[in-house]
């Protein structure tokens, strides 16, 4: 699904250049469940942003299903994100003045779906995450775990093939964390590709394999060495 070919991302800070990501060729195949681990500042979120078409590398190529992501027009890249990818963030990024139902409808509206299709799909997804009784609640009226479940429902609105998750359990209590991780397991079992950035070793244990980042360099973390990798 994803192929990175000699990708480098450099940030300029106070006149100095910092290489946030330096990876030689590696692949994330379709149907993979990869946990990206490593110390803070190691480049994990940069890697996720590069994969998601949101941050162009300075050098190298990022391929998705053989298509060079950053050689596409801005409109085409946006369409690939909309049609192929779903994003889960630690901060949820819900619109505070919209209800749960309306938040889930946003990507469907942007995709040009009819109002009826938007409503039916949003209700279906919110019921799937156990929030069928919270359709008209705004984010401030929901618990932290419920807000993350709304975000997960929104992520699935356009039936993405790949889920890119940045610390999806970072702000959650133990029970909400378990619900979110069980849901990610379920999505993976349906054949979706999942790439999850996490500091949570127990969350990373759910993945099929681990990618370790240290100073922007990606290596495979062998099974049984996760706690050292994180």
Burial of 169 (0-12, 13-18, 19+ CB in 10 A): buried
Under 8 Å CB-to-CB from 200, ≥6 apart: which residues?
167, 169, 170, 177
Under 8 Å CB-to-CB from 101, ≥6 apart: which residues?
119, 122, 123, 126, 135, 136
Set out the domains of the chain in order of their start, with CATH numbers. Answer: 29-56+73-229 (3.40.50.300)
Using pLDDT thresholds of 50, 70 and 90, give the confidence band for residue 227.
Answer: very low
| Share above pLDDT 90 across residues of the chain, in percent, rounded to a whole number | 64
What span, in angstroms and rounded, lies between the C-alpha atoms of 34 and 164? 10
SS3 11: strand
Per-residue pLDDT averaged across 171-185, rounded? 90
- Label residues 29-61 b or e (16+ Cβ within 10 Å = b): eeebbbbbbbeeebbbbbbbbbbbbebebeebe
Tell me if the pTM is above 0.85. Answer: yes
- The 8-class DSSP code of residue 167 comes to S
Cα 29–Cα 112–Cα 163 angle in degrees, nearest 5: 20
151-161 residue pLDDT tens:
999 999 999 99
What span, in angstroms and rounded, lies between the C-alpha atoms of 191 and 197? 19
76-128 residue pLDDT tens:
998 888 889 999 988 889 999 999 999 999 999 988 999 999 999 999 999 99
pLDDT at 196: 95
Which token pair is 226? 């996760």
Average pLDDT, the chain: 89
Are 19 and 8 in contact, with CB atoms under 8 Å apart?
Answer: yes
What span, in angstroms and rounded, lies between the C-alpha atoms of 8 and 1? 19
Using pLDDT thresholds of 50, 70 and 90, give the confidence band for residue 225.
Answer: low
């Amino acid at each position: 699904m994803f192929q990175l070919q000699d990708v480098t991302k450099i940030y300029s800070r106070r006149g100095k250049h910092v290489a946030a990501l330096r990876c030689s060729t590696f692949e994330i195949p379709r149907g993979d469940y990869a946990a990206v681990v490593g110390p803070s500042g190691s480049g994990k979120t940069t890697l996720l942003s590069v994969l998601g078409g949101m941050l162009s590398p300075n050098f190298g190529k990022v391929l998705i299903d053989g298509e060079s992501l950053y050689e596409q027009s801005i409109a085409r890249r946006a369409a690939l994100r909309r049609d192929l990818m779903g994003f889960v963030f630690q901060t949820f990024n819900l619109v505070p003045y919209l209800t749960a139902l309306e938040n889930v409808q946003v990507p469907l509206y942007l995709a040009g779906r009819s109002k009826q299709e938007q409503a039916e799909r949003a209700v279906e997804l919110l019921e799937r995450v156990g929030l069928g009784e919270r359709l008209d609640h705004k984010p401030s009226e929901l618990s932290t775990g419920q807000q993350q479940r709304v975000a997960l429902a929104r992520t699935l609105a356009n039936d993405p093939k790949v889920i890119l998750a940045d610390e999806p359990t970072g702000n959650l209590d133990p029970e909400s964390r378990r619900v979110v991780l069980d849901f990610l397991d379920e999505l993976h079992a349906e054949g979706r590709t999942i790439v999850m950035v996490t500091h949570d070793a127990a969350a990373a244990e759910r993945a099929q394999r681990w990618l370790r980042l240290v100073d922007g360099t990606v290596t495979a973390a062998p099974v049984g060495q996760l706690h050292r990798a994180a």
